[in-house]
């Protein structure tokens, strides 16, 4: 999968299917018309990337452990052409996302203190050039680009709108610069993960990988170092219902006290475990993930989740670790360990008396990693379908309990929505995405999905409609059943009602089984 080229398709049905083709065609036509009205010419090419829902495996990708997401139908489309002497980034929803201009220098820095939606495009632009440089590929001279974006992934929902815009932008940029043909799916998954970190969030790689490598009809076990994806066939008769809590999680803006803080805590937990397991302080300070400590735990405690749980409970104390305690055990200042890591240094600069809860974070990571492979194994087993659904639901419930209790990345709205889902008949329900707002995902029997959705509308959303938080007509985008959808693709379309797109640098067309898409999260 990772070694396959990025697909280029000419028919909307190849990505959106027959059912979604009419709506998708209308959307591309609106984007093309707006592009031509603004820039005077049609786009050279389009790129799209889907959002994703993570079925299980939260906050463990940046610790080196596998995750189990699927791509969803909502996506981000980028229309692009070469022109002018600047990067002009516009949006079809201009009132909400005003036009932003940047210079064409790939080395320019992002202003993370003034976060704008277009920073994600600029991070992709930088990422393309950085990838070419890292591979020793001659980069084309920077040129002006005219861009228009449209996304349907709800922002701050935990469905990875940021990865969708970074991945779709990266493909669009690579295509108009004539270098897309040199990229594999693995390449794009890897460099877009690194590129997104320019906006100030320490992305772990799951979102970009599933956006690029998603496939219709199957979830994916995504593993890292190197990135790779394996099909996971979900049980027959099941579906997943995604529900937006309407609590917005702005990952980039809150990272220093939430997402990036957890990344720092996990590394500190790994270093403290390494010290407790006998590594000299200098070697322990070089440890970066909890997965790197796993061999030492196996040597002393044996393999498996129970051994990891025992090790963490014996070797890390309860409550808070303050920076001074960690520095004493490592025999060096934390600032020196994180030298050059701007996001981690910002976290260290704002940490207060709440300190770091290292034991709880490590307990979550190790147990959640075990649940991912447990989920995969249940799907592959010969058990009866009903037994599979029951086991998968229990794993999802345990995941949410760990996210809420040990990792503290839930919130009142997510907990209420999970409770409402279980009351409405979900076999299992959990938050999905970074947390602190956003969406839940519930496992439901396919035959029960309409009744389940109606119950959630009544129990959770009716009060929000009455309060004006959400409009009745918009509930279809807040609450919906989803099957796994296509991953990222370049779209070279002939739109009958508008001027034909100009020819763009080409690459080999993918076979139908290889066709895929991308998405994004802000």
Catalytic residue numbers read 207
Both tokens assigned to 368: 């959640």
DSSP 356: B
Peptide bond connecting 226 to the previous residue in cis, omega within 30 degrees of 0: yes
Distances (CA, A) of 248 to 161, 252, 522: 12, 12, 10
Alpha-carbon torsion angle 267, 359, 261, 435, nearest 10: 120
Alpha-carbon span 445 to 384, nearest angstrom: 14
- Report the interhelical angle of 119-134 vs 161-176 (nearest 10°): 60
Q: Is the CB of residue 439 less than 8 Å from the CB of residue 157? A: yes
Alpha-carbon span 17 to 485, nearest angstrom: 10
Q: Is the CB of residue 92 less than 8 Å from the CB of residue 150? A: yes
Residue 13, helix vs strand vs coil: helix
Residue 428, helix vs strand vs coil: strand
Both tokens assigned to 57: 């495996």
Both tokens assigned to 267: 């590394």
Q: Is the CB of residue 362 less than 8 Å from the CB of residue 316? A: yes
Residue 106, helix vs strand vs coil: coil
In what helix (H) or strand (E) does residue 120 lie, and over which residues does it extend? helix 119-134
In what helix (H) or strand (E) does residue 185 lie, and over which residues does it extend? helix 185-196
Q: How far is CA 455 from the centre of its chain?
A: 29
Alpha-carbon span 54 to 57, nearest angstrom: 7
Alpha-carbon span 218 to 233, nearest angstrom: 5
Alpha-carbon span 480 to 404, nearest angstrom: 23
Query: CB 423: neighbour CB atoms within 10 A?
Result: 13
Q: How many helices (H) and strands (E) in the chain?
A: 18, 13
Alpha-carbon span 385 to 378, nearest angstrom: 10
Alpha-carbon span 113 to 121, nearest angstrom: 16
């Amino acid at each position: 999968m990772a070694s396959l080229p990025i697909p280029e398709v000419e028919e909307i049905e190849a990505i959106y299917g027959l059912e979604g083709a009419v709506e998708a065609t209308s959307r591309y036509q609106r984007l093309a018309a707006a592009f031509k009205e603004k820039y005077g010419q049609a786009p050279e090419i389009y790129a799209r990337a889907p959002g994703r829902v993570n079925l299980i495996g939260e906050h463990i990708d940046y610790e080196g452990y596998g995750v189990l997401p699927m791509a969803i139908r909502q996506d981000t489309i980028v229309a692009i052409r070469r022109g002018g002497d600047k990067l002009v980034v516009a949006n079809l929803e201009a009132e909400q996302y005003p036009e932003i201009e940047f210079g064409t220098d790939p080395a320019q820095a992002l202003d993370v203190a003034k976060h704008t939606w277009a920073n994600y495009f600029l991070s992709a632009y930088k990422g393309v050039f950085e990838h070419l440089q890292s591979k020793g590929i001659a980069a084309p001279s920077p040129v002006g680009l005219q861009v228009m974006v449209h996304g349907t992934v709800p922002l701050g929902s935990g469905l990875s709108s940021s990865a969708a815009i970074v991945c779709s932008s990266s493909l669009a940029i690579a295509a108009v610069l004539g270098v897309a043909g040199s990229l594999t799916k693995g390449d794009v998954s890897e460099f877009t993960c690194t590129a997104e970190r320019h906006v100030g969030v320490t992305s772990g790689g799951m979102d970009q990988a599933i956006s690029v490598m998603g496939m219709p009809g199957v979830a994916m076990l995504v593993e890292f170092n190197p990135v790779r994806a394996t099909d996971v066939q979900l049980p027959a008769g099941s579906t997943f219902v995604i529900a937006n809590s309407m609590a917005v999680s702005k990952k980039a803006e809150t990272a220093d006290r939430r997402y990036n803080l957890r990344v720092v805590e996990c590394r500190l937990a790994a270093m403290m475990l390494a010290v407790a397991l006998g590594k000299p302080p200098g070697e322990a300070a070089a440890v970066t993930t909890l997965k790197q400590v796993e061999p030492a735990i196996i040597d002393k405690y044996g393999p498996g989740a129970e051994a990891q749980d025992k090790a963490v409970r014996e070797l890390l104390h309860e409550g808070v670790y303050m920076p001074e305690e960690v520095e004493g055990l490592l025999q060096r200042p934390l600032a020196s360990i994180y030298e050059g890591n701007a996001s981690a240094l910002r976290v260290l600069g704002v940490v207060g008396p709440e300190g770091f809860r290292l034991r709880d974070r490590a307990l979550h990571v190790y147990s959640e990693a075990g649940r991912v492979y447990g989920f995969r194994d249940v799907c592959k087993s010969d058990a009866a379908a009903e037994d599979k659904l029951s086991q998968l639901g229990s794993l999802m419930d345990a995941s949410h309990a760990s996210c809420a209790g040990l990792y503290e990345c839930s919130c009142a709205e997510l907990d209420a929505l999970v409770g409402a889902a279980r009351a409405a008949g979900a076999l299992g329900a959990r938050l999905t995405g970074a947390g602190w707002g956003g969406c839940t995902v519930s496992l439901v029997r396919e035959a029960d999905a309409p009744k389940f959705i109606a119950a959630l509308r009544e129990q959770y959303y009716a009060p929000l409609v009455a309060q004006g938080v959400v409009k009745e007509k918009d509930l279809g985008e807040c609450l919906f059943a989803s099957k796994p959808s296509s991953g990222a693709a370049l779209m070279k379309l002939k739109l009958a009602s508008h001027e034909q797109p100009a020819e763009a640098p080409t690459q080999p067309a993918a076979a139908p089984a290889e066709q895929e898409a991308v998405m994004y999260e802000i």
